[in-house]
Amino acid sequence: MERVYHIMMANDTLAKFKDCDILIRPQNMGNFGMFSLNSIDSIFDLGYTAAKKALASYGGLQTDISITEQGSDYSL
């Protein structure tokens, strides 16, 4: 089922990338499936780290962002 979803969404997603100023694709996301909810904390950390790194290297965006999630504080 997951493979069918990825094939269905691939063309639509690729077409939308041309509208993006910045695309954040965390490394190692291939280790997780779309329904890997048991690994949600690891997935969040990968995305957060990749976003922080991408925003720091891209001068066109404001990087003063704070996120509070269940008692944990994250800030850029």
The Cα 15–Cα 17 span in angstroms is 6
Q: Is the pTM of this model over 0.85?
A: no
Strand partners, 66: 75
The Cα 68–Cα 75 span in angstroms is 8
pLDDT tens, position by position, for the chain (76 residues)? 777 777 777 777 777 877 777 888 888 888 888 777 888 999 999 999 999 888 888 765 554 555 554 445 544 4
